[in-house]
Chain A
Amino acid sequence: MTRPELLRVEGITKAYPGVVANSDVSFSIGEGEIHALLGENGAGKSTMVKMIYGLVRPDTGTMTLRGAAYTPSKPAEARRLGVAMVFQHFSLFEALNVAENVALGMENPPPMRELAAKIRAVSEEYGLPLDPSRMVGDLSAGERQRVEIIRCLLQDPKLLIMDEPTSVLTPQEVEILFRTLRQLSSEGTAILYISHKLEEIKSLCDEATILRRGKVVATCTPRERTAREMAELMVGQALKTPERRVGAKGEVALGVSDLSVESPIPFGTSLKGISFTVAKGEVLGIAGVAGNGQDELLLALSGELKAAADKVRVSGQPVGDRGPVDRRKAGLVAAPEDRYGHAAAPDMSLVENAFLTAGVRKGLTKNGFVDWAGTRKFAEEIIKAYDVRTPGPDVAARALSGGNLQKFLMGRELMQGASVIVINQPTWGVDAAAAAQIRQSILDRAGEGAAVVVISQDLDELLEVSDSFAVLNEGRLTKPRPAEGLTMDEIGLMMGGAHGMEVAHHADA
């Protein structure tokens, strides 16, 4: 099926100081086509769509929209010409209701009552139920995304850009979103869909443009390719699937019983009665949509948040009332999600950052004095073992790319010979090859007898590494279940299903 061409991008190049984000990128999107822009972190996907949306101007190259030259100088101009975008990070005011938030994004908002009626009409038409009078602060991430989508749809766009829309959704919510997108496509709205999740792209998209290091390396029809083929095009090398060494499960190494902790973060999620155990050699995967208590759970396990002594036990030893130093001594290491400022001090060198957590277990202090020579050796070992690309161990952490720093930080925790390892988002923002390597190391440590807790929002990752599986939902943890044989549907239901979506697409039911 050939479609009339909607947008053509030709020879677009955009350079930032020190990095070429896009180099001679060309592709075209037909009317009603769902086009995937595929690539790893840093491949230049976001820069590309920012140029289409008028947020960034290209250095060279041309764009044409329905045959006319298209050079948006600001997003308002792009919107006027029928280009809309849903961002990965929402820009909504929590203290305002849905209709008010939508009105804020419009140039000439109609009266509130009229707008509310319109929102209702659009939300029903596209199976995205949304009450215009609800406060955004009370909405789930999936519902907030619907506010953004409806805001776009009210402008009757010809091209809708979606940047990683499914990272905050449960599987059920993803399914509903896809139905909406297909409906839009059948009505002639083109969709530029940015993602690195290959199964999604296979099921949704008509065409795909694959970017690597800012260049187009391939175009393909996703339905005709396997996910693995596309991943290898994205990464530019063959991928290894992590191998798991199956060891006998040993005794319980980490026991958490009825752990409730108040969140120290404003608008955070408090933990409510969390209980689970992890045995030696076991990997427990904890899933959940962002903001359901993941950060708090990490803090409560690392020792930054304290509770009663017997709430957390490491190898039988009660450590619930102990701080991070004592917990490391007891054999528990933790890796927080936020690399810049929490897991690492951005302005300190890699050597100093190695000391940050490894000082205790690697015996890097003598009489209170730091053994910098020994610490440097350890940092160099991490750099070598985890293939961290850096000029040397004295470079400030902030000078490393996100993926490289993550490799360093994972190595720092995984190389301490700990008996319990807790990791929040082990491969967030890391390229596929490095992610595979990190997952392999996690499995290796488990194979050597460590008990591992992996908190992640990437379900594929969790299913790849976990022996047992649980879900954090509003600060509560479901009972862990064996990961083997779990289907996406079951996981979705554990995650609370589709928030408020019971009535969605009732016509299809």
Chain B
Amino acid sequence: MLMLEKRPTPSRFWLYATPPVAVILTMIAGGILFAAMGKNPFEVIRTIFWDPVFGEFAFYLRGQLLVKAGPLILIAIGLALGFRAGIWNIGAEGQYIMGAIFGASVGLAVFPTESRWIFPVMVVAGAFGGWLWAMIPAILKTRFNTNEILVSLMLVYVAETILAKASTGFLKNPEGMGFPGSRNFSSYPAAQNGFLYEPLGLHWGGVAALVTGVLAYVLLTRHQAGFQIRLAGQAPRAARFHGVSPARLVVLCMGISGALAGLAGMFEVTGPAGQISIDFNTGYGFTAIIVAFLGRLNPLGIVLAGFLMALTYVGGEMASTNLGLPDAAIQVFQGMLLFFLLAVDVLTNYRFRLAVGAR
């Protein structure tokens, strides 16, 4: 009989081997899926993983990688801090939307200013919007012991409703001839999040993502707050003994993840998306959950994972336009990645043992 046995100490080998093994298993299982759909699995895998970086259109697609990876990384790092502490913010998508609405609203309110202070103020407003939206589940949890998973998730749908209202109502472009959607920030230079270096797809959001990765890494490994986050996740009673207030930690972690998600939304709507529209959000807030785990909840790992996930996004889009693969198949493929990651992850703390006749 095959048995799982807890390792005395976590395996360092599997800690680092898990993500690549999970990627390979996803390619195999995904290949089988694509083959069953009548596509050539090798072609699909090549389109997703190879073409965006080295293929014919790589000069354009490479830039797209950071554009997509930036918000994923930014959101995932915030989520990872909470996940490390055992605080499950599942509603980053809602905080992302609210950050975009707050940031855009501030900019659009003073249209068409040319002040160079407007963009920094919008950044702050975006972070505040996400923070505010995350405070709802945080305070409900600390006051009434509600489940933050459910509340934050439900608030995504509330945020989507507000977004619909914004793009058809209070933020609607007065010169938009009745079409839904706000003014486009590409024609509003002072408030626009333009490319700093276009070939790499670098805008302020990308800069923020990379800087946040380093800061979060330092926070977790060197700072007392990072120690408390890790401690609370691993041993909640020991954390209380250490002197961590669980309520304050909930507020801190939800606040950070909400603010980072809000920032991501603000950078997205004023940059690549260009305007507030009903469906400017593309599920980054949910995909970031996968990215956080794919990166082992380690900020530097998340930076790498963000690029990998961006690759499946960009490559997936290519596969769906060039090879006629449905979007749902790409989403299944991305879901498989998380599935295999969590499955292989068991080997970090457990090992298989052949038990012969023992009881």
Contact = CB atoms under 8 A, between A and B. Distances in A.
Contacts of A138: none
Interface in A300-351: 302-304, 323-325, 328, 334, 336, 338, 341-348
B243 interface: yes
A368 B224 contact: yes
B245 A341 contact: no
A398 B238 contact: no
B222 A56 contact: no
B238 A359 contact: no
Interface in A340-369: 341-348, 352, 355-357, 359-360, 365, 368-369
A103 interface: no
A334 B353 CA distance: 40
Contacts of B8: 396, 398-399
A303 B243 contact: yes
Nearest to A74: B359
Given A345-B234, A395-B9, A396-B9, A356 B223 contact: no
Contact of A341 (B223, B227, B238, B353): B238
A304 B224 contact: no
B241 A347 contact: no
Contacts, number: 75
A352 B238 CA distance: 12
A370 B222 contact: yes
Given A324-B243, A325-B243, A398-B8, A370 B227 contact: yes
B337 to A, nearest CB: 25
A57 interface: yes
Contact of A343 (B222, B223, B238, B353): B238
A111 interface: no
Contact of A368 (B10, B223, B245): B223
B242 A357 contact: yes
B237 interface: yes
B133 to A, nearest CB: 27
A348 B222 CA distance: 15
A67 interface: no
Nearest to B245: A323
A127 to B, nearest CB: 38
A365 B5 CA distance: 37
A485 interface: no
Contacts of B46: none
A345 B235 contact: yes
A45 B235 CA distance: 31
A17 interface: yes
A356 B224 contact: no
Contact of A345 (B9, B223, B224, B231): B231
Given A348-B231, A359-B224, A342 B238 contact: yes
A356 B223 CA distance: 13
Interface string B226-256: 0100110011011111110100000000000
Contact of A342 (B5, B9, B227, B241): B241
Contact of A344 (B238, B243, B353): B238
Contact of A323 (B222, B237, B243, B353): B243
Nearest to A340: B235
Interface residues of B, number: 23
Contact of A355 (B9, B227, B353): B227
A303 B9 CA distance: 31
A12 to B, nearest CB: 16
Could you tell me the dominant secondary structure of chain B's interface residues?
helix
Given A396-B10, A399-B9, A341 B242 contact: no
A56 B243 CA distance: 42
Nearest to A359: B224
Contacts of A395: 9
B228 to A, nearest CB: 10
Interface in B201-225: 222-225
Interface in A14-39: 17
Given A56-B359, A352-B227, A346 B235 contact: yes
Interface residues of A, number: 36
Interface-central residue, A303, A344, A365, A370, by most chain B CB under 10 Å: A370
Contacts of A328: 243
Interface in B302-359: 353, 359
A265 to B, nearest CB: 11
Contacts of A56: 359
B357 to A, nearest CB: 9
B216 to A, nearest CB: 14
Contacts of B10: 347, 396
A325 B248 CA distance: 15
B240 A345 contact: no
B224 to A, nearest CB: 5
B225 A356 contact: no
A306 to B, nearest CB: 11
Interface-central residue, B227, B234, B243, B359, by most chain A CB under 10 Å: B243
Contact of B224 (A344, A346, A369): A369
Given A370-B227, A396-B9, A356 B241 contact: yes
A345 B84 CA distance: 14
A348 B241 contact: no
Interface string B1-33: 000010011100000000000000000000000
B262 to A, nearest CB: 24
A457 to B, nearest CB: 21
Interface string A106-141: 000000000000000000000000000000000000
B224 A341 contact: no
A356 B353 CA distance: 34
Contacts of A346: 234-235
Contact of B225 (A336, A338, A343, A368): A368
B84 to A, nearest CB: 12
B45 to A, nearest CB: 36
Nearest to A325: B243
Nearest to A357: B242
Contacts of A365: 224
Contacts of B5: 17
Contact of B223 (A336, A342, A369, A398): A369
A392 B28 CA distance: 41
26 contacts: A302-B241, A304-B240, A323-B243, A323-B245, A328-B243, A336-B241, A341-B235, A343-B241, A344-B238, A345-B231, A345-B235, A346-B235, A347-B10, A347-B234, A348-B230, A348-B231, A356-B238, A356-B241, A356-B242, A357-B241, A360-B243, A368-B224, A370-B222, A370-B223, A398-B8, A399-B8
Given A324-B242, A360-B243, A369-B223, 15 more contacts: A57-B359, A324-B240, A324-B241, A324-B243, A342-B235, A344-B235, A345-B239, A346-B235, A348-B231, A356-B238, A357-B241, A359-B224, A368-B225, A395-B9, A396-B8
Interface of B: 5, 8-10, 222-225, 227, 230-231, 234-235, 237-243, 245, 353, 359
Closest 8 CB pairs of A and B: A325-B243, A345-B235, A324-B243, A342-B237, A399-B8, A345-B238, A396-B9, A341-B235
